[in-house]
Structures are given as C-alpha cells and as structure tokens.
Structure 1
Amino acid sequence: MAPDASSVRSTERLDANIPGAFPNLLAPSQASITTHQTSLSQTLYERRAEYTRPRNVRIKVGTWNTAAQKGTEQDVGEWFISGKGVEEAIAGYGVADPGPHSEGSRESVASQEARHAKHTPTIPHNDAGAVPGADEIDIYALGLQEIVDITSASEALRPYSDPSNANKWKASLAAALPQGYQLVSEQQLIGLWLVIYASPDVFPQIKNVSTTSVGTGLMGYMGNKGAVTTRIVLGETTRLVFINSHLAAGADKASLDRRIWDTAQINSRTRFDPIVDSLGSSQTTGEGLGEEEFAFWFGDLNYRLEGMPGDDVRRLLTVHTKDMDHEEEGRASTSADSGYGEDTHDAVPLPPELDPASLQTTITSLLPHDELHQQMKAGKAFHDGWQEGPIRFLPSYKYDVGKVGVFDSSEKRRCPSWCDRILYRTRASKQRYDAKVKEQEEARKRDQEMKAKGMDLPGDDDVLYDYDPDTDGDTYDDYDENEDPEPEPITTKDDLSAEILLEYYTTHMRILSSDHKPLDAVFSLKYDAVVPDLKTAIHGEVARELDRQENEGRPSIAVVVDRATGSSSAEDTNKTDSSFEGVDFGDVKFTKSKKRNITIANTGRVPATFGFADRPVDHEQQAGAFPPWLSVTFDREPDKLDKPQPDDIHQHFTLEPADVVNVELKLKIESLDAVRNFNEGDSVLDEVLVLRVENGRDHFLPLRAHWLQSTLARTVDKLIRIPEGGIRKLQHQIPSREEVKWSAPRELFRLTDAIEDLTERTLAEWEMTKSEGEKGPWQDNAGWPFVRSHSKTVVDADDREDELADLYDALDCDTPFADAFNQETRSKEKVEMLAEVLLTFLSSLVDGIITKSLWEKLEESITTREKSKQHISSDDEKMAVLEILTTAPNHNASFFLIISFLQNIANQVTEVFKPKPHTPRTSTELPASPQAKVRRRTLSKVPEVAIRQLIVKNYAVAFADVLFRCKEEAKIREKEKAIRKERMVRVIELFIGGDS
C-alpha cells in the first residue's frame, strides 16, 4: 500500500517531538551524555599525540605612540611590515651593523630631516629594511597609542570609540602586507588600537578569537588610559594573548603608583570568551590573564628613569647620536664604539660591555634607574613571570618630531626614558612564579605557627624562614642586559610542548613623525598544532569504541514485527507496505478487531527492564502509552515492583539475556466520535509507541492502518444522497445537493425491513419449536429486541463480534445482511444484532432524526401547553407535532418510517401474548420492564392492552435517546434532564399508540 497522509503525519510528528525514529535509538539521558562526553574528552586527550604535529611560526609584535600626530599613518606600514627605519649601528638586539652602504645607499639623516613634512612619509629613501618582515612573518600584532588626541576632554570622555580613526591605519597596513594576509582581530579604546593579521597558511589555524578592553583613565574607568587585549588559540592547542596598554604618564611618585594600579586593574578586569574546540565542545567558562601559553604585553608603559637629571641623560646619550648627520663616518665610528667593527690590523675587538665609550655601557649604566626594572624587582608590577629582551637601543622617548636623534628640546626638556616596551611571558614562567608564591606563603604560615607555640627563636624579630612580601617574588635580580635569550620550552594546558625564542628587539630611530620611536620584536614560536582531519578521524574512532563498550554493558532489546500477521485477511492482500518498519493493521472497519504480534528479545548481556511509556502527542490527542483504539497484551505477567517507578512507564517487564516476550496488539474502533473524525479525515490511524528500556535506549514502534469509510456518524442530508452501493462505492465523491436519492436514508429502509422480517420469523419459529413452559425473550423483557436485559448486551460481544462487524460492513457496502450471519446463528440472535445496529446507527447520526432546531420548536410547544394547563386530545397533540416536523421533509419521513416500524414490531410481539382460539383464558403474566418504571395501576385491566402499553413505553424510552438531538447545556440540572426525557418519550408514545 502506498504511503498515505497518515504515514506522513506520523513521521512528521515523530521528528518534531523526538529525535530519531523506529528502529533508531533515542539519545541517552543528560547524565549519560555528560559521562559519555567526559570519557570521550579524556580518551581523546590521552591520544592527542596522534593528531598533533609540530609547527613553527614567526610573530612580530610592534608598539608605537603616535602622539596624535598627523601623517603618522603613512609610516606604519613601512617600519612595521617592511622592517625599515632602523639605524643598525644603535638598533638593538638581533640587528647587526652591515657596515658602510654601497653607492646609491640609504638617504642620510640630514637629508631625511630636511624634507620632513606632516603629509609625507618620513621613512629614509633606499632603505632595504633591517628587521624581518613581509612574508617572513606569520602573525603581525601591532599596538598603537594616541591615534586620537586623548588630552582633549571631548575625546577622553567620549563614551564610544570612533572606528573611522582606525581606517586610515588599516589602509596603510593593507597596502604594505603581502597578498593573502587577513585581518584576525581589531580592538579600539578611544586612542588605543590593537590589530592582528595572519598569513594565508596560519590564518586557518587561528580560532576562538576574543577581544576586550579595560579603561583605567579618568575616574578609573575612562578610556584615555587602559588596555585593549586579544586572545587567540593557535592550532587548537596554544593560547596567545596580546595586550596593548597605555599607562598613566608622569615622572613623580604619584604617577608611578598610578601605573602600578593601572596594571593591576588590567590584570584583574580582563576576561575572554569561553574556548570551543573544533568538535563544538566548550573547553572553558571564560578565562583571564595568566591562563594562556604565551602572552605579549606592550605599549606606552610610561616608566621613567627614576632620580636621573634630564640634562645629564640627554648629554650622555647625545654622544652616540651626534655623528648620525655624517652617516658613513658615524656608522664606522659607532660600529667601533659598539665593538661590531672589524680591526684591519688583526686586533681583537673589544666587547661593547667592556668598552667604557660604547652605547651598551651607557645603556647598562642607566637601566638600574629604570622604574619598570625596579618595580619588577620589588614585586609590584610585571613581577609574575614577565620578562623582556635585552635592551640595546636608545630610549624611545622623548624626541623632537622630525628629528632622528634629538631629544626633547622644549621647555620641559624631559628626561629620555624607555617608556615604550615589549614584554612577554610563558606559561612556564607564570607557573614558576605561582609555585614560589605558594612556597613563601606556606613558609610564612609555618613561622606564625612556630611563634604561636612559643618556640625560642634567635631573636625577637628573627624567623626561621625569611619572608618579605614587599621584596620577595620572581624578581629582576637575574636580569643581564648583555645576556642573549635562550629558547624557553613550556608545556601547554593539554600537556603538549611549545617553545619560544626572541629573535629581535629593536627600535626604529629613523621614524620622525612622532615624539616616540616605534619598537618591535620578532619571536620564533614552535608548538604542537592539532591537525583537524586527524582529530576528527580519531574522535570518530574513540566515539565508536566508547559506544561499543557502553552498549555491551547496557540493557539492549530488539523489537521484531511478526510479518506473518501483517495481512490477516484477503481484503488486506497487496495493501501492506513491506518496507514499513512498524506495525501495519491494513484496512480497518467499525467494531472489527485487527490483531498483530510483535516479539521483544533481550539482545544484551545484562537483564533488561522495559515497558511502554507515554507517547509523544499533540494537543488533539489523548495522552498515555496507547491510543484509545489499541489494547496491548503480554504473554506474561508484569513485574511486581517493590519501589515506585517513573510515572511515564505503565507496566514493567524484565527479560534475562536471550529471553523473549510476545506481545499482541489489538486494534478496534468502537467510539462513534472516533468514527466521525476518521470519516472526515480529522484523525488518522497513525501512532508511535515508545518502548522505554531502563538505563538503556528508547525504541519507537510506528503503527498505522487504513480506515474504511462508514455510514455511521453522518447526517440525514448526506445519507439521502448516497446511491445504491453504499458509502464506499461513492469513493469520496460529493454528489450535487439536488441529487436526492431517497426520502429517508436507505440504511433505515434496509434495517427496519430486515428486523421486521426476522422478528416475524423468530416469533413463528418459537411458536413451532417451543417446549412446554419455555418462555421467549420478549416474555421477560418488554423492550425486546431493542432493550438490554439483566445488565447485559443483547448480543455476547466475544462470540458475535465478527458477525456484528460484518453487519456494519454490509450496511456500509449495501450488501445483504443475510451474508453476514453464520449458518448456525438463530433468528432470535440475528434480530437482536440487527436491533443493536439500528440503535447504533440512529445514535451516530450527527443531526439526529429530530434535529436540535426541530426539538426546540417541539419543546416550546409542549412547554406552552403545560404552562397553560391546556388539556387536548392525543390527535391534537399529534397534529401539533406534525406541523413542526413537516418543515423538515426528510427528517419527517425518517421519523414516521421508524414509528411505523416500531408499531409493526410492537404489534407482532403483542400478538404472541394473545390466547389462542378455543383455549381457556387465564390471567396473563406481564413481562418485565427493564427500560422504564411503570406503575401497575396505570396500566389497562385488559392483559393484551397492558402488555402493549409496556412494550410501547420501553420502545419509546429506548428510542428517545437515539432519535432526538438537543442543545448541550453545561449547567442543566438532573431534574430538568428527566423532564426533557419524559417529553421526548411522550412524543414517540403518541405515534406508536401507547394510549390505546
């Protein structure tokens, strides 16, 4: 059978409510998911060496305070990307002096300073670049300060950052970057700007980019001072953090304290987004500073030379810059002073740190006064694992704009200082610091415990463990300005290896457009990177193995549909779909049972406890494990439970491994409301049962059937238009409203004719075959064959179910009722079954024989007479009823067809009670009246008349419930219902002849 709308609805509803469908398995519980994910993550972590490979990248970090000078953006691409503007002789760590330039060499300092203008680049002409750049660098991280005038109150107090200021800088960088480099992140806070670019090879390896900012300026929160920060994850294993900060300015003690406060605020208030791996799992709940593998803190930190006269420092440093006007001579002289020149007389060159006239000696003498070094040593700032490369370059601040080596010549004549810095920290150095702090804290506690115990110590102020929180910490004591950095290996959070090496740390002296000289540093980073394809493959392998292990230890069942019961009758042949994985009941009729069998087997290694759970239902369906038209029977008793079980499982059954249980599913439609919905297509025979396994997975069992149209639950107006052949022959065709075929429903003609014939035959057979003293059913029941006797149905449903269902089928198909009966069925049983069919048919009519509107008019007429206490004859009462019924001709014809039929049946049954001619007349015993309570004194003294009165009364009461329709009133009282029922009975009695 081709899939119909019912099967489509089932699938859609299932997909909408529960993930998966039969025979797939439902996802496990949330607790099981969490445990499974934890185990999966742990196993994947243990195999990380299989999906990681070593990678090398070079990172260039740059910083520049542009002092809000116009035209500075024209220089940024050349010095930062191309490595230009370095004065090699006094450049810094990693930059070697190439010696005198060849003909056509770089522009001289004098020429460069002479052509300086605000709207042209200041990079010296013919500069080949002395620091790695272009495609030699994989990641560029640039931090700028004061890209807007932060001294302006309107800028400093602005509640937002104007992104247009950064666009000109991006344009300059984009023009200088090699093709294919892409923007990784950008973050701005007023005048602070941090931007990161990556090469085409590295960009796909960067994930989980998170940017943030912390304002520490005015009122402690404004953005004229503070930091912008970016966190990236490289290769899914290595966290990199870049911090561009601008700390409080000033050379006094208060300014120094404010710088320390700024640093602490940036450390405590910086938070990043959670990290999510390539498989969609969140690895963190948000991180702060200190949890990364490598961090780079750079910017205008504003630390000065403490206690140094500015004029003395300028004179001391000018010695090394004065000859730059004559570049060739100055280069040779400076090279000799710095120990980098070659001795043509084979003399051993003097190392710079031993030459009292060298730049390095001068720098070494000044660095002990550097406030940053002092605070690191004192444990007040940047003491928790931060380090800096060797400083072998001139201070970056403060110069006259447009000059290469002229220090501040203004009235303030500021002392030159290394304000601009690039620091870095590894995970290993941070861990060493944390371990040392912990050790010192434990030592302090031990000292206090010993003092509390009154132990004698060497002196009142002496302790066994010397600890000073102001000076102890990871200090700068071991710093050696002349010591070259060594590669520092670390272990990542994932226990993978990484290594960092500082290659260059230099300043670009030949940049003239700001009073700060830009700095940059180049780092070589080696790390273990995740290979996504390898990780995905291993993840799948681990997941499958964990599933296998989990499934072996969990209850597991299999549900098998018995295909032998898939088509239990000839009418279902070729109508079931073999590809359907559920239970297909085939064609279904009213009251006709359909049975199917399934087998449930324990296919696991442990006992399995299961039961049917509540179905996924929508608002139009009834809740519960089964739909109302389905009953389920197991071939064993359910478990006896000692403790409460979940409410959604209604019966529990336990199977041992390899054990099975057989289940019978029985479908039977008996509700007239359901018939109406099925006829109209408002409901479909399409459901999904949920078989729940404790500590296991749910199984879904789809059910479906095909409803065969029925004449039940129709309207009189519909039925009188159905031609011969019945409702099914009509095949859903809608005849024209003018094509009325019958004065009353054909089904009424057929049923009443058949019941009259069978009643006459039944009474005749009884007269001929009865034994002496034997009573017919009518002698014990005045309502026979329409009224139930002794609280039982007139037909034993278990014995006569198939015959009764075939009678309804014959009614629907317009086939002879005789074909529905078995040969051994007696006439009495046949007439009782047909009577039940008639009553069911009448009660199923949507509009009824007497419609709501007709009954309203009838009841109004009756009520009026009752209130007026008007007594009229029975004939006048009939005429009043007829006047109202004639307004609905088809309903009127149907009513009088039934009245005529009931009169004939009453006459036939009454005739049985009449004494035969020439027989002595004795007192006749009255039959029981199961349907209506009748007082004996109200009956006629003539036995035959009294019997007919009882029969009519019982018939009237029985048919009053099925002929009339009235408005449903929620608050109607029982007494009013009884009065209404009496009025309906009275109308039927009038026409059957109950008053005779």
Structure 2
Amino acid sequence: MPEAECFFWRTDTSTKLRPFNFMLTLRSVLILKRTPDHSIEDLSVEVAYPISGSFSFSVAQARRPTLDLRASVIETGPTLGQSRSELTLTIKYELATETRSHTLIPRDTRKLQSFTAECRRLKDIFTRNEFDADFSWLSLYTQENSLKSFSSPKDLRTVNIPLHAQLSPASAGLPGDDAVDISIVRENWIYNKAIEEASTGSSARLLIRTGTFNVNGKMPSQDLSPWLRPTKRDSESSGWISPLKAISPLDILSNPIDQQVTNSLGASSATLAHANLNNNATVSDPDLLVLGFQELDLSTEALLYASSTVKEDAWVEAILAGLGERGILYEKLASKQLVGMLIVAIAKKSRLSCFGDIKFSAAGAGIMGIMGNKGATAIRMSYTPLAQEISPSSIVLTFVNAHLAAFDEMVERRNFDFHDLSRRLVFDQTDELDSNSYVNTALETSRRTVGLFESDVLFWMVDLNYRIDLADGDVRELLASSPGTDNIPILLKYDQLKTAIASGKAFAEFSEHAITHMPSYRYASNTSAGSLGYDRKRKPAWTDRILHMSAPGVPVTQHSYCSHPQITMSDHRPVSADFDLNVSIVDKQRREIAASKLYRELWGVEHSSKPPKIKLQSMTLDLGKVYYKRLIRQTFSIQNDGQIPCVYRFVAADAAHPICPQWLKIDPVVGLLRPGESSTTTVTVFVDNSSASRLNIALPRLDFTLILHTALGKDHFISVTGEYQYTCFANKLTRLTRLPGPVRTLKSPNDRVPVRQPVNAPREIVMLINWLMTHVTDPNDLFNGPLEESTCMNIRECLDTGHQFPSPQPGEERGPLATAITSTLVQLLDSLVDPVVPPYLHARCLQMTSRDEAFELLDEFPPESVNVWISLTAFLHYMSLQKPPSQSSTDRVDMAERLATVFAPVLLRDDSTGLHTPVSPIGKRKFLLHFVG
C-alpha cells in the first residue's frame, strides 16, 4: 500500500517529549509514535483514521500561546512561553458513541498544504463513489488490538478460566466458531509472548503484610506490635501450627494433576532485591502493610456516613507506634474510611516511589442495604518495581476491607452482600482521547470506571461474619479437646465460608491459607467467659478472614495466617497474613513493540487462502499399566508443518462428553504455533477414588481416541491404549465381601462368590487389622511415625495382589510402617463408595445413650457393615487398652478419644448427595466410643 510522508512534529500532554511521525496512506491517516532513544524501526501506530464520510479536519490559527514541543529551539525559532502565531491541525473522526480527535502542531506549512489537499481529494473520491468500505485491514497497523490487554488488567474471574473453556463449543465434526477461537487464542498468545520477549530475566520481591481487626468501638489501648511485626518464626510465636504437620493418619494423597503449577512468563531464579533503607532491616520486614478495621464507631451516628478522621488518626498513630523502632522506616500511603470501616496502607519510605495511581472506593451494605454500619472500603494502587535504564511495567493491587451481616442465619445475606459489593466497588479511571498528543483544552477527557476484579492481585481483609453450622456445645467441646487445634479441620467442614466457596455461592476461585488458629470471635470482655475465654452467649467462629486472588502471571506465596490472642482489647482477635509477590521485571516499551510486531505477524490467519497444517510425532499413545493413585506422564510433540500460523485444540468426540476421561489430563489443551514451530503436549494419568469406582466395574482394557482439531483445518486422531489394574479401593462394601480372591486375580469384573455363602468382612480390611494386632504394642505407633507415600503404595499393592505385608526386622523401628498400615486402613474405609454406616442411620446412632442400646442398633446395619464394624471396633478397643509403662489410665481414655476422632468421620461419612442432613461430629464420636471406650 503506497505511503507518502507529509510532515513531522513533536507533541505531548505530559512532561515527556514524544516524537511523532504523521503519514498518509491510501484512504487512511496513520499517526505513528517512535519511542525515545529507539531506532526508526520501532515506529508504532497510535491511531488510524479512515478517510471516509466520518472523517474531517480543520486548520486554524492558534489563539493562545501554545507549548512548543517541536524538535529544537534552533530548528523552530521561538522559545517556550514566547508569544507567537502558528497554525494548528485538528483531525476528527465521528464514531457511533463519540468523536475522536487530535489537535496537532505542524512544523512545515508546505507539507500541511499537500496533506490537506490530498485528504480533500480522497474524501471526495469516497463520497462520489459511495464505497461500501471495510476498513478492518487497519487493525493490522494499529496497536489498539495488540495492546488492549495491557491497558488495564483483565478481570481476574475471566483470566483464571482455562483458555480452552473460553472457546466456542466444539466436537468431532462440529468445530465451532474457528474464527472467533483464533482471535481469542491469538490475543492470549500475543499477551504472554510479548511479556516473555520483554522480560529482563529478573524479578522483584514485594512483601505485603495484611491484617483485619474488628475493634468493637474501642480506641487503641494496647501494643499492636504482635499483629504488625512478623518475626523470623512468626508462625510459632503466634500460635501458628504448620499445616504440613500430620494431625491424623487421614492424610490421603490428593490428585497431583490439580497441583501442577504454571510458571509465570519472564520469571527466573534471579531476583532484583530492593536496597534496604537500613542495614539492620530483617528479611521479614514488609514493604507494604494494608490493614482493615471494622466497628471503629458504634455510636448512633454510625448509621449515617461520617467524615470525622479523629479515630482514623488515632489508629494510624497506634500502627506506627506498634512498629516500634522500625516505625521510622514507614509512612502512611493511603487510607479510606466509611463510618466504622477503615482501610489503611502503610509503606516503607524507600518504596513510596513504587506505588502510584491510588484510587478509592466505598459502598454501604447495612440497614436498607445502604447504611454505612456494614459494607466495604477499598484501595487500588499500581506497583512498579525499581529498575535501571528501562521503564518497567506495573501491576495493580486492590485491597478490600468489608464487614458483612451478623448472626448465624444470615448466611444467604452475606453471600448476596459479597456479590453486591463486588459489583458496586468501582474506581474512577481517567482516559484521554489521545494520551500522547497535544489536545485542545476545549476537549474534555473521558472518564470510565474499572471494577474490583480488574486487578493483578486482589485481597479481602474482612470481618465476613460467616459462622460454624454446628451446635454451640459441639463447637466448644471440639475446641476444648486436648489439643483443641486437632479438631480445627473437623470444625472447618461446617464453616459457612468454606461451604459458600465450595458451592460457588460466594468467593468462588478465592484462595485462603489453611486455618490452624483458634476462632477469632467471640471473646468475652467480662467474667461471663468459658474456659477458652469465649463469651458464653455467642458461639465461637472464624469471622475474621483474609483471602486473595491473583492473575497467573503474578506468583503469590503466603507465608503465614494467624490470629494474635495477645491483643485483648476487643471481642475479636486481630488476624494477619504475610504474602510474598514475585513480580517479573518487564520492559514496558519493549513489550509494546513486541506485541505490535506479533500482532502484525499473526494478523489475517482466519482470512488466509493457505490451509493450516500440523504434524504429530505419533498417532498412538500406549499408557501401559494404569494403577490406582500412581502418577503416569507421557509427552508427544505437535509441529506446524504449514506456511501460516495455526491454532489447535483438543475437542470431544461428542458434545455431551468431555475431551478425555476424568483420570487423564492434557496440557496444553489449546495452542498456537508459527510455521516451523513445535510444542510438547503432556498427558498425565492419575486414578483417584471417583475414577476408580467406575474403572473397577469395567473391562480392564483402556481404549479411547483423542481428537486434535486444527482451526480452519483438519482433525487428527490419536489412539490411546492402556491396561487398568483393578484395586480394592473405591468399591462398594457389598462387592468386596463377595470377591472370590484378591481383586487383581479376577477374570472379569463380575466375578462373585455364591450369594448363599456367609458374608464376612472383606479380606483386605481383615489383613490390615491382623497385621496391626500382631505387630503393634504401643498405640502411639499408629500415629507418630513419618508417613511415606511409597510405603503406602506398596501396601496397597499387597492388598490388591494378596501378597504379605512387609514385617519389621529385628531392631527396626515399627512406627513408620505401623503408621503407613493405619493410614492405608483409613484410606480404604474412606474410599468406599458407600460408608460403613449408611447415612440414613446416622441420626439413630446419635440417639443411643448406652453401650447396650448401641449394640442393639447393629441389628439394623446391613450384613456387610456389621462384620466390618465388629472387626474394626474390636481392634480399636484392644488398642485403647494397651498400657505401655509410661501410660496411665487417663492416657488410655485419651487414646480411645483419639482413635474415635480419626475413625468416626470415616465410618459415619456424611452423605455427599445432600439427601441426609449431616449430624454432629461429637455425636458420631460418642457412638463409636460406646464400642471402643
């Protein structure tokens, strides 16, 4: 397409000088920008105006002194601020919703005359011929498409959706909307590739300490340092218990497919550490503290929006005082108050220059849904790493402090308020029509708002008021058990927030670190307190929470999550969490240039006359033997064998079915390749309980086909084969009792012993119990040894094949092997398709008040359950009676309680279908103790 240079000028609306080129193309005007200190090859198109009926321009005499941003004083004559007479050129283009314009200062009047004459001629041609013009080709030259992903962070709720889930529905023979899919994949690929190419290979750490504290209307009266000052062993000094510490044998291997971590683009092992202001600063000193306060003001006036900052000032002063000798290193960065809710950001003075573009938002959710006694305040800011010789790209951090409706029964209101506040908390964002050119002052800038989720990292530090769906007595008894923290995982199963997240009703996709601290609410402020200090009239709960969500390209590591019982001024205990952000340092200008070039390179794939072609390394994939809970990984390569870029994706054989079986994962599911490029696809196999329950009753031969679809091209078929190895895990109890031998020796999945043969406990359960009865004399060995997954794997193989378990050698410690056998027993019971005690009997079990009544209830158990129950409880009773020399009668009672704590939730497993209401975990434990204690 012919181009003719008309003239050049410099123009700017900020403090920087940005040179521009102005060029005329066939039926369009392009305004180009050249990055300072870069070559002419780095020109990028700022905007393109088609010369059509919507195009117009005007030349006028400047009516006021105009800031001269031309090349040099020597070249232009007048100096800055000097009164002069000059021409201005205004280009306008009328869109459906707005009029875009640029007002520019030409430096060559002759070229200006040539330009205006040519524009008139081209517009006249367009008008006379009434072209049905399609200017879509201009997107090839503009950065609007290639850089729109960088203008503001994408919505976190969208960016965390897997790419293949964002594409149109497709299956074999029904490819979907390939053109749209190409556009989606291309934008994602350009975004990641541009960051990769512009990455400096280094990163910057940003340490953030967040906190939430409901102060119950109190003014600061205690030292806040335990809450504000992390130590090297913060977890231990604040009652932190590592979630990695096993608290029972019920530590079942999770699905490793779901634990795969995607490395961020541009990240490397190199870290650019910010220079410390003080050499005595410890590595745990946060760069940024963001603290949320609730119930700062409980007065009657708090029902309305108040503007007094008296209490805010007092708490900010208390924060700086709580930082102690390190307080001099920090300074208040920003704050926002809505009546009783206050959010405060405190930054290191040496980092202040890294934070900018600070925005605020607030929304009430109290009485009538608008009053300020409940609601949220939020702060949005950009963080730009310190870097030399480049302009690093920024990330956006958003922090929310919220206080939701109280009382147990208001859970649905809390769920609603979360969504309502997420919608109403918005931030004003100013966008100029053209940020890099001189715009006439008569033109107003457009304003838009950005949402809460348009961030790279989003934190909620809140008093959400979610409670525990258990009776008050059960909660207190579980917490009072010794040690009470062992029962925290049980209580969290009934936590309303955990339930809301699991069901997707609120805070879906948010992450919360493992809770290992005691409930932070409600503590008594007078003598009406229980042994743990909680108010006798209010049920304890984890109302104070810290959650976060981050984009894939910003790795976030959480180091702590704990409450601080030392601070007792309120009926809540403050909660804190420490985060470590690894921010990749990316050259912003190089990223923009790379994105623009990549967009031009990949533009028009969907309109090309050349077909896309890919070549597979192999058309078959043999998985070999597939075992229960054994990870298998295989790879194969995909190569672009054509002349144009191609987009590929795996699709299902039928729209009603998934792409592949549940036990198999493909990574990546979708990709883009340039000509000659190849990529590696990883196939991961892992059979969990859900998959095994179906595979155990099917033929062992695994045969299926993976379908690889090339957008606007052909489908490729990959034949996958394997042989499933039957397992005793994840079966129905009725099936296990009727197996004629070890499950691995079955000739078909339908092999059964005759129905007339008496029903006994499954041989696998008996094998585990017999080994423990034979080799364990100290019941503590059931729990205290280190748990090795390889040992558990060998034990599972013995159960499936009928081979003997390994026996401890003379002088060998028995604890590790005994713990592995016990853990395998718990896993086997927990994997059963139906629990040992049917859910419809759980309520009856809790009604039993004596040992005799409990034994009578066994008559209502299914026959296969009775034998398992009797065999297992006899073993547990035997273990509880064992008396090593150091064990007292009191210890024996504690052992029975401990055994019941581990086995009761497994034997009386809650109904996952929701048909039967879950019963009290304390009641389950007491029923089992009728047989064990």
Q: What TM-score bracket applies, with the shorter chain setting the length?
A: 0.3 to 0.5
User: Whose helix fraction is larger, Structure 1's or Structure 2's?
Assistant: 1
- Which structure would you say has the larger Rg? 1
What TM-score, normalized by structure 1, do the two folds share? 0.35
Higher strand share: 2
